[in-house]
Each structure stands twice: as C-alpha cells, then as structure tokens.
Amino acid sequence: MTTSPDGEPESRDIVAAGPESPRSEVTVAALLVGAAVSAIAFIGVYSVEKFSTQHELMGLTLAASFAFVAAALILLGERVLPSEEVAEDYPEVAAPQEEEEVAKVMEESAAGITRKRLLVGAGGTAGGAIGLAALTPALSLGPWFEVAPLYRTPWRAGRRLVDDEGKPYKAEEIEQETFYTAFPEGSSHRNLGASIVVVRVDPAALMLPPERAGWAPEGILAFSKICPHAACAVALYRKPTYGPTQPGPALVCPCHYSTFDPGKGGEVLFGPAGRPLPQLPLTVDAAGEMRAGGNFSDAIGPSWWGIDMEQPH
C-alpha cells in the first residue's frame, strides 16, 4: 500500500496486467463448446441403438470431450490468464495483510479478460454437458429412465436368419440331430440378443405352449443362445443314440449344465437355470428361407437381468 501526494492511500496492482488476447479467448470458448457438443454426441450415441460400432463411438465422443476441455484449459493458462512467479519462504503464520494480497491476486488475474461472460457461459455449458453424459449411463439403469431398451434385441418379424458369413438359412438345410447358430441379417454379431440356436425335431414330438403353436414350422425351432442362468453360451446339443431308452434331444449349456427341452419350448430339464430358454418364433418364406416371426418369448439372459422388467418389444 502506498500514499498519494495528497495523503490518501493508493492501491497498487500486485499482478501486472497482461496483454489482452481476445482471439485466444474466443478459441478457448470454441474448445469448450466443442467439449459440450462431444458430450451431447455421447448421450445421443448411447441412447440410439442403431450403430454397429456403438461402443467405439461412445469412447470416441467421450474422449473428444475431455480432449477439448484439456486443450481449452492449456490455452487458458498459457494465453489468457496472466502469470507471475514469486519465490519466497512460506511464513509460519499468515498475516491478514498477506491474505488480502492473495485475494487481490485472484481478483486481478482475471482483470485482463475481455470476454468473461463468453468464457463463463462456454465453461458452464461444457461442464453441464459432461456431467449429464457421466450421469446418463447410471440413470439408464432406472428407475428414472425407461429400462425397456436393456431388453430389446435386433430380432423383428421378417428378419432373415443367416450364418456367421451372412448366408441365409433355408428350411430344407436344417437337419435333425444337428445344431446350428444363426444371426439376424444385417445386425452385429456382438449384440447379446443376436445369436440363436436352431434345431429341427420331429413335429410329432412338439409340445409347445398353445400360444406358440405356429412358432416351429416343419419342426424347426430357434432359441436364444444366452443361458438364462449365468449368460454363458448354449453350445451343446444332446441327441439320443438309442431312442427307446435314452432321453430326447436337448440344448445344454456347458458352464453349469443347464439342460433345456426344445420340443417343450425350451423348458428346463436339469441344472441351475431358473426359467426356460427364450424361444424365437420362426416362419418360412416363399423362397424357403428362414425368417423371424417376431421377438423372443421372454427377455434374454440371466433371470436377475429381468427383475421388474417390462415385456420385450
């Protein structure tokens, strides 16, 4: 604190005013807006289940948002905020005058910024968008957001069954005592609801629930490949080698040996699975190709996925 010639106290700036840099301020604001846009894009990608590379896009948009924020902070510190280096020992006890000087340093550091409102607005927008992006995955688990998307699958009425190379299955190619893996045409194979097992049994041996009477044309049945016990892949097919004494055909999960009867709509025969294997309705078109007749009879996956769930679409 100094005294003016007339005896009045005169204030002296502690931090020297730095050069104004409006262009850098606009750039910082633009980077923060880019962070907000990237965070909003993450929310959009997370919410829309139409991308085959959805997980990669989520990672890319979220990383871009953080990268924009990092670049904005670096530029803010280098070009916008004035800096001063002072080397001195820390006092044992802070004096009130020194505390006032620290507060004044903080106040004067922003004195050279010409677009404070722009920067504050851009920073608030970026912070809000990133916070919402971080909160969205947690809220989607419910009960605030609709949880039905967790139980949707890529199967729709009319969608063709194809093998892992994209070749459509024909009904005449499905043989008894053989295990087939199929996917919905045009869908990512990594989708948990995509993979199904297809088998053919003697139509006379079918004992499906009445509401599924038309789900197995020519004795061909399809079920989710995800075991409802612990989400392992149902990868074994038990076929009798001597019909009169051995049990009938069954789908088996190799992890804990849950066994399902395809002729009875995936009913549990043995093992820890708590509910039947979800069945997919099938149809055969005019060209003899296999198509889905709709979605699964129940939500796929472990039983604990379906607590308080809605019926799948």
Residues 64-88 pLDDT 10s = 999 999 998 888 878 777 666 656 6
Query: What is the number of residues in the chain?
Result: 313
List the structure tokens of 269. 């025969």
CATH architecture of 161-306: 3-layer Sandwich (2.102)
The pLDDT score that the predictor gives to residue 13 is 54
**Quick one: what percent of the chain has pLDDT higher than 90?**
40
The pair phi, psi for residue 196, each rounded to 5°, is -135, 160
Residue bearing tokens 């009879």: 297
pLDDT class for 304, splitting at 50, 70, 90?
low
The pair phi, psi for residue 132, each rounded to 5°, is -65, -35
Q: Which residue has the higher pLDDT, 191 or 290?
A: 290
Q: Which residue has the higher pLDDT, 307 or 199?
A: 199
Which element (helix H / strand E) includes 116?
helix 116-139
Distance CA 300, CA 279 (A): 9
240-253 residue pLDDT tens? 777 676 778 899 99
Which element (helix H / strand E) includes 290?
strand 290-292
Find out whether 75 and 24 touch, Cβ atoms under 8 Å. Answer: yes
Q: Which residue has the higher pLDDT, 289 or 27?
A: 289
> Mind giving me the DSSP string for 66-91?
HHHHHHHHHHIIIIIS-------PPP
**Quick one: what percent of the chain has pLDDT higher than 70?**
72
List the structure tokens of 306. 């379906």
Q: Which of 147, 136, 139 is nearest to 307 (CA)?
A: 147
Distance CA 266, CA 253 (A): 12
1-19 residue pLDDT tens? 555 555 555 555 555 555 5
Distance CA 143, CA 146 (A): 7
* Helix 22-47, helix 54-75: angle, nearest 10: 160
Find out whether 228 and 275 touch, Cβ atoms under 8 Å. Answer: yes
129-149 residue pLDDT tens? 888 888 877 766 655 555 565
Cβ neighbours of 216 (radius 10 Å): 22
The pLDDT score that the predictor gives to residue 308 is 36
